Amino acid sequence: MIYTVTFNPSVDYVMHPTTLDMGYTNRSTAEEMYAGGNGINVSTILTELGVDNVAMGFIGGFTGDFVLNTLQQQGINTNFIRLDKGNTRINVKLNGIIMTIINGMGPNIPISKVDELFTRIDRVSSGSTLVLTGSIPSCLPDDMYDMMMSKFSGRGIRFVVDAPGDLLMNALAAEPFFIKPNNHEVGRIFGANPETPEEVLPYARQLHEKGAQNVLVSCGGYGAALVDANGEEHVTRCPPCRLVNATGAGDSMVAGFLAALDRGWSYGDALNYASACGSATAASNGLANRSTIERFYSSLKHLLADEKAHAGEEVVEVVETDDDSEA
């Protein structure tokens, strides 16, 4: 079973204004509302792909009711802790010519409620996967992920961490099963500016050597790179797509990678499927549905096959030239 934890869920209120002029009244042509949060996004894609999972975290107030009802209507298993005070935050996303986002702060989470979450996680069985993703609310310790992994280490739980900066680096000591930074986050960690999958591989290797078993680094439109649990390196491309909304693309990659491994696929194939999931969401208004994901995966397989065939032709041409010169 896969469990996702979202410390600071949200109601994502997406508006489509025709103008965005400060100091004036601006009007929207359409609006949508989604249950948001990194862990929730992972659970949504996993459920869409038919992978059993449970979404955990904290909700509060009428906005928390919206999140819970939305997830349940989508068939997602939930085990959220309800806060006695405060409301789940609202993130306003103004999707105009340039996307502008205003994220709410979220409610205060008492330590007693964190203890309740730990009690529920304590019932998670060996062999399960615990996905820790997203930022930590300011009311909680910065090293919350590290604390959780330390507390539940030695239990046979596979930890997945998708978090920025120190949150990620502090998690490496617990040897997480899978981490997924992007190329910009890797660049900030190592003081570099890698862009392509080939450029991020040396840094992914260093993160692997520091304790992470599988290191998947997303590189936007360039594709992604993976150093797997066996120490082998893989790169993949991004299937052709028109960017609509990048929100949730990274979470979709996490879900796709886990879903592929749940099916018994190889690490290389899991990387390709993760790339397809991320691209499918980037090309969708919200999170991608299964049919879109499968279409993008098919497109990516054809792209990679064409690249492989083209590379093989180039090798043959070089060999033939060498043979002629020797004759």
Token look-up 């790179």 returns 225
Task: Write down the pLDDT at residue 286.
Answer: 85
Instruction: Express as a percent the part of the chain with pLDDT over 70.
Output: 95
Task: Write down the pLDDT at residue 319.
Answer: 44
pLDDT digits (tens, 9 = 90+) for 118-143: 999 999 999 999 999 988 888 998 88
> How close are the terminal C-alpha atoms of the chain, in Å?
63
251 is known as an active-site residue: yes
Question: Residue 322 above 50 pLDDT?
Answer: no
More confident residue, 137 or 41: 41
Identify the DSSP state of 74. Answer: T
What is the chain's mean pLDDT, rounded?
A: 91
Q: Which one of the listed residues 12, 146, 228, 251 is annotated catalytic?
A: 251
Question: Residue 88 above 90 pLDDT?
Answer: yes
pLDDT digits (tens, 9 = 90+) for 187-213: 999 999 999 999 999 999 999 999 999
State the average pLDDT over residues 218-241: 94
pLDDT digits (tens, 9 = 90+) for 155-187: 899 999 998 888 889 889 889 999 999 999 999
Task: Write down the pLDDT at residue 312.
Answer: 63
Cβ(203)–Cβ(217) below 8 Å: yes
For residues 292 and 295, what is the distance between their CA atoms, to the nearest angstrom?
5
Task: Write down the pLDDT at residue 309.
Answer: 83
Question: Residue 320 above 70 pLDDT?
Answer: no
pLDDT digits (tens, 9 = 90+) for 58-83: 999 999 999 999 999 999 999 999 99
Total-model pTM: 0.90
Which residues in the chain belong to E strands, given as ranges? 2-6, 10-17, 28-36, 53-59, 77-82, 89-95, 99-102, 129-133, 158-162, 178-179, 214-218, 224-227, 233-236
What angle is formed at CA 188 by the lines to CA 230 and CA 226, rounded to 5 degrees?
Answer: 20
Q: Which two tokens mark 7?
A: 């410390």
Question: Residue 325 above 70 pLDDT?
Answer: no
Question: Residue 290 above 70 pLDDT?
Answer: yes
Confidence class of residue 315 from pLDDT cuts 50, 70 and 90? very low
